[in-house]
Structure 1
Amino acid sequence: MINLLLFPIILPFLFAILLLFFKENVRLQRSLTIIGLLISLVASLFLVAKVKADGVQAVTLGSWPAPFGISMVSDMLSALLVTTTILITIFVVIYSFTSIGEGRERYFYYSAVLFMVTGVNGAFTTGDIFNMFVFFEVLLIASYVLIALGGEKKQLRESIKYVLVNVVSSALFVITVAFLYSVVGTLNMADISVKLMQIGPSGIVTVIAILMLIVFGIKGSIFPLYFWLPGSYAAPPIPVLALFGALLTKVGVYAIMRTYTLFFLSDIGFTHNFLLVLSLLTIIAGCIGALAYFDLKQIIIYNIVIAVGVILFGASVMNEAGISGAIFYLIHDMLIKGALFLLIGIIIHVTGTSNLRKMGGLMKTHAPLGWMYLIAAFGLAGIPPLSGFIGKLLIIKGAFEAGHIWGSLIILASSLIVLLSVIRIFIYAFWGEPQPLAVTGGKQSYRRLMMPAVVLVILSVLYGVGTEWLVPYMADASDVLLQPSIYIDAVLKE
């Protein structure tokens, strides 16, 4: 039963390999992908229940005990993130049936998606810092395929930049892990934590902490390392953008949260305040970008940057309210970004453009799309009782408790700017006189695209309304981050 935590990693991997044999049979590829994801979802839900009932689950592969063997660890945070990842991927894949095009489907699109899910879930679950690098590479290689798939000029141009940035950050990751290993002599994350506690405050450990922040900051797009993100994410088709926006940056954010609550606790005065300043600069940079563009994709992409800043600000505060808020907001952002990217994909599908100035009057022709977009936009801005509200409220509470009044004010101001940026899309696209539409595939394809987007919006609303029901799970997730001993004991005493 304990190996349940490997299922959400192994199942997508096996189905991804299976799909490679059915290149030409698109219908079979679609069916197998959904079956694989649904079985993975059931396994991940069982895993959440198991972690809730029995605490942190750990399994060490091979016959070596921890810390010598490779540990996979599932606490409530990683179990919730794994479940959310699979859930979002299911809806993006259903959306892809109508929007991605058979040309891409034949060239291993679904395999690449499942390999990416394998890497994302592996990174969330691993208890070994070098294995985190390995899973990062798995998801990055799959994302290289997805960003270039279709071979449009813009995609190829941006994919070169994307690959170069990630190759540099991967090299830096290996160097940083080597530095860390030279100091502690272990790669097991629980064991690293124990060894670093024994070493105490040390200059080299602080340097390693900042290097780790740079490595994961490139992946998670924090200031000033987010420069590659707006162009690279805007290049591929909408389903790929939805997967990247909902999942990829969140792996970098999770890695920062995990390492900064488990390892780097000896010099919190410097490392966590440095993270706090960077997160606030990230929010400001994202706000400027969100207001500067008249392109649908760019506005929502810069909102990813804002959210990364908000989550990391909550994590850097290092108190219960801040960490709980960061976890709430992390899962909210995965759901709401998935929903929003699918919705703007439908707007682009209907109008034939992503330029706001060329749109108008969609409320008269596509009212349900307008209402769904408005609910998602309010959710993103954190209007109660929608899902963004509770996370942001807790983060601000944590900031006040820690005495970071300016940080709280910046986050409150950013909420208004987020609302302004998404309402601007609503005003330009849905108000005014209808423009000539460029619908391809008519009403039927529009309905097919709406279904997964609507379900994701409903899920995000339920996530906000059902906060009280989710609190015990979030409390378990934040307890492990606030008390590293829970994690360490589960791994080293299994």
Structure 2
Amino acid sequence: MNPASTLVESLMPLTVLLPLLGAGAALVLAGRPTLQRVVSVGVLVAVVAISAFLVAGAADGPRVVTLGSWPAPLGITLVADQLSTIMLLTSMTVTLLVLLYAIGQGTSDDDSRTPVSIFHPTYLVLTAGVANAFLSGDLFNLYVGFEVLLMASYVLLTLGGTRSRVRAGLTYVVVNVLSSLVFLIGIALVYAAVGTLNLAQISTRMATVPPGVQLAIHLVLLTAFGIKAAVFPLSAWLPDSYPTAAAPVTAVFAGLLTKVGVYSIIRTQTLLFPDDVVTRDILMVAALATMVIGALGAIAQEDIKRVLSFTLVSHIGYMIFGVALATPAGVGAAIFYVVHHITVQATLFCVAGLVERVGGSTSMTRLAGLAAASPVLAVLYFVPAVNLGGIPPLSGFIGKLGLVEAGVQDGSVLAWLLVGGAVLTSLLTLYAMAKVWVLAFWRPVDQLPAGEPADDDEGRYPQLIGSGRPRPGASGAGSAAYSGDFLGAPSALTSRRLPVALPRVMTAATAGLVAAGLAITVLAGPLYTLTDRAGTDLVARTPYISAVFAQTVDHRVTR
């Protein structure tokens, strides 16, 4: 065997194992926050490096590891193909930068006075779950990855203990427990139908299953993944859950959690059910509704976090659009758009956290003059906002153009409707982003409506009132009381005329995310070539199946 291939396969399990070991170490170091940060950052730096190596290693074909020396399909199989490695590298890079943002927020707010030691181990467990889901080569291990990341997300969503977070957390828990139950039912149906849960072996046996049973199984799995990916009409939970969480938590949720659902749809749609025309049409309709309704919801919001939550839902539709086309061009463009969206959406939620520090709120009815108060913040918002809106030559435009071209090549009525919906959604997204810019950044302070109550005056964060400690980065008459809880929220500023200094680490991490988004634009040529090749391999199926069964007798591939 090639030594490079052996090294790739040896490193693959470490993307899951290192975060779990790091979580244990961080938990042991709960009373030593500095060491906790060192462990967390060190683990994620190592995982990002390994992920980059896996991307290079998978360029010549999928790499497969069966744990415990059990041959496929008996052992737990990890598969690093171009789709999984691209997703892994993107998500781990964003996770690292968001962690630095969280550390900067905690340092600026003196989190030594707040018991948030559980954040780091939980964050690393979340990372392990995401990595396991992307690399999983069997359906049950994919389910385990989902459950690991969801259990960690339950904790992260409710850290801080505010009423709004607990309420949103309950909604989030109920919805995701329901989706996990549906997923488990789908797993049982698959095993009953084909007698295996190995993805490669399922794909070779599914052709022998009656069409009606295939359709039933596929619809059950799509329902489970559609809830997790927030595909309309299964997306109503997201806009009410994400805005209440702390900025770092919301950023990593927006960047990762829904994309694991999208990844699962891509994997099962291309590998297990490549010829299911019925579900393709269903996905096309769902993609169109997700794009347009999500964008309409975004322009109707008055809170920046809710605007971003609805745009998050809306742009899931673009990814489903490409998957539903089921062509190499469509799937490749969808993968490129996933990479773009993970980065840009996480960036915008980090910016929203900085906006809350400068303006004391994310409600556009209470914000004005942010461009004058913090020109750096204005730039950090403007670049990813126009990128999300699809302004050329940025990566958002490139991804949307690829999807539109794939839709035109398809030529069906539904494909043309999706092309029109994609263009309309892009315009509506640009309008929503421009609305935030005009009201929060450009509007003079003296044009603010008089008598607007602060968020905390409405009882949204009652436990933060009256802490008596000055808000970090502000002083004098313009400062507001602040709790110091890095997972809390600042009170509204009594005066928005005074400039407020941005915390350096938070600003640097956000700038790093902006730079990553711009790097996708600069490297769009080779990246698009890579995602296009990934789309071709996914539609062909043969490279994945052959790699898994390369050393077994059962090497038959059926279409």
TM-score (norm: length of structure 2) = 0.85
Q: Which of 431, 444, 460 is residue 433 of structure 1 equivalent to?
A: 444
Q: Does 1:210 align with 2:231?
A: no
Q: How does 1:40-79 map to 2 (within 5 A)?
A: 40-52=47-59, 54-79=60-85
Q: How does 1:165-184 map to 2 (within 5 A)?
A: 165-184=175-194
Alpha-carbon shift at residue 41 of structure 1 (Å): 1.0
Give the Cα separation in 2 of the matches to 1:155 and 1:400: 44
Alpha-carbon shift at residue 471 of structure 1 (Å): 3.1
Q: Which of 79, 91, 100 is residue 97 of structure 2 equivalent to?
A: 91
Give the Cα separation in 2 of the matches to 1:71 and 1:291: 44
In structure 2, the partner of 1:226 is: 235
Report if aligned partners of 1:99, 1:449 keep a CA contact under 8 Å in 2: yes
In structure 1, the partner of 2:461 is: none
Q: Write the letter of the residue equivalent to 1:250.
A: K
Give the Cα separation in 2 of the matches to 1:98 and 1:434: 28
Q: How does 1:330-479 map to 2 (within 5 A)?
A: 330-403=338-411, 404-434=415-445, 440-442=472-474, 445-479=502-536
Report if aligned partners of 2:329, 2:532 keep a CA contact under 8 Å in 1: no
Alpha-carbon shift at residue 282 of structure 1 (Å): 0.9
Q: Does 1:9 align with 2:16?
A: yes
Give the Cα separation in 2 of the matches to 1:420 and 1:337: 16
In structure 2, the partner of 1:241 is: 250
Deviations 1:229-285 (A, max 9, x none): 11111121010000100000000011001100000124x220111111111111122
Root-mean-square deviation (Å): 1.6
Give the Cα separation in 1 of the matches to 2:116 and 2:313: 33
Q: Which of 537, 541, 552 is residue 480 of structure 1 equivalent to?
A: 537
Count of aligned positions: 491
Q: Does 1:492 align with 2:549?
A: yes
Alpha-carbon shift at residue 479 of structure 1 (Å): 2.2
Give the Cα separation in 1 of the matches to 2:114 and 2:320: 35
Give the Cα separation in 2 of the matches to 1:104 and 1:264: 50
Unpaired segments ≥5 residues, structure 1: none
Give the Cα separation in 2 of the matches to 1:397 and 1:472: 15
Q: Write the letter of the residue equivalent to 1:230.
A: P
SS of equivalent residue, structure 2 residue 66: strand
Q: Does 1:152 align with 2:162?
A: yes
With over 3 angstroms needed to count, the CA separation of the structure-2 counterparts of 1:16 and 1:105, relative to structure 1, is: farther
Report if aligned partners of 2:318, 2:422 keep a CA contact under 8 Å in 1: yes
TM-score (norm: length of structure 1) = 0.96
SS of equivalent residue, structure 1 residue 448: helix
Alpha-carbon shift at residue 470 of structure 1 (Å): 1.8
Give the Cα separation in 1 of the matches to 2:279 and 2:373: 52
Report if aligned partners of 1:94, 1:452 keep a CA contact under 8 Å in 2: yes
Q: Which of 269, 291, 295 is residue 283 of structure 1 equivalent to?
A: 291
With over 3 angstroms needed to count, the CA separation of the structure-2 counterparts of 1:247 and 1:207, relative to structure 1, is: same
Give the Cα separation in 2 of the matches to 1:185 and 1:140: 27
Deviations 1:2-27 (A, max 9, x none): 12221211111110111110112111
Report if aligned partners of 1:26, 1:106 keep a CA contact under 8 Å in 2: no
With over 3 angstroms needed to count, the CA separation of the structure-2 counterparts of 1:104 and 1:224, relative to structure 1, is: farther
Q: How does 1:20-31 map to 2 (within 5 A)?
A: 20-31=27-38
Give the Cα separation in 1 of the matches to 2:533 and 2:17: 25
Q: How does 1:90-109 map to 2 (within 5 A)?
A: 90-100=96-106, 102=111, 106-109=116-119
Q: Which of 264, 272, 276 is residue 263 of structure 1 equivalent to?
A: 272
Q: Write the letter of the residue equivalent to 1:10.
A: L
Deviations 1:321-349 (A, max 9, x none): 21111011000000001111111111111
Q: Write the letter of the residue equivalent to 1:486.
A: P
In structure 2, the partner of 1:193 is: 203
Alpha-carbon shift at residue 316 of structure 1 (Å): 0.5
Q: Does 1:162 align with 2:194?
A: no
Report if aligned partners of 2:251, 2:346 keep a CA contact under 8 Å in 1: yes
Report if aligned partners of 1:363, 1:430 keep a CA contact under 8 Å in 2: yes
Alpha-carbon shift at residue 476 of structure 1 (Å): 3.0
Alpha-carbon shift at residue 42 of structure 1 (Å): 1.0
SS of equivalent residue, structure 2 residue 71: coil
Judge which range, 144-153 or 432-441, deviates more: 432-441
Alpha-carbon shift at residue 135 of structure 1 (Å): 0.7
Q: Write the letter of the residue equivalent to 1:216.
A: F
Give the Cα separation in 2 of the matches to 1:49 and 1:104: 42
Q: Write the letter of the residue equivalent to 2:526.
A: W
Alpha-carbon shift at residue 394 of structure 1 (Å): 0.9
Report if aligned partners of 1:351, 1:439 keep a CA contact under 8 Å in 2: no
Report if aligned partners of 1:386, 1:461 keep a CA contact under 8 Å in 2: yes
Give the Cα separation in 2 of the matches to 1:145 and 1:194: 39
Alpha-carbon shift at residue 168 of structure 1 (Å): 1.2
Alpha-carbon shift at residue 365 of structure 1 (Å): 1.9
Q: Write the letter of the residue equivalent to 1:281.
A: A
Deviations 1:24-65 (A, max 9, x none): 21111111111111111111111111112x310001112321
Give the Cα separation in 2 of the matches to 1:288 and 1:233: 18
Report if aligned partners of 1:385, 1:465 keep a CA contact under 8 Å in 2: no
Pair member with larger Rg: 2
Q: Which of 116, 128, 133 is residue 123 of structure 1 equivalent to?
A: 133
Give the Cα separation in 1 of the matches to 2:536 and 2:300: 39
Report if aligned partners of 1:296, 1:355 keep a CA contact under 8 Å in 2: yes
Give the Cα separation in 2 of the matches to 1:61 and 1:3: 10
Identity %: 36
Alpha-carbon shift at residue 320 of structure 1 (Å): 2.1
Report if aligned partners of 1:26, 1:105 keep a CA contact under 8 Å in 2: no
Report if aligned partners of 2:358, 2:502 keep a CA contact under 8 Å in 1: no
Unpaired segments ≥5 residues, structure 2: 1-6, 449-453, 455-469, 475-499, 552-559
Q: Write the letter of the residue equivalent to 1:273.
A: D
Give the Cα separation in 2 of the matches to 1:401 and 1:417: 25
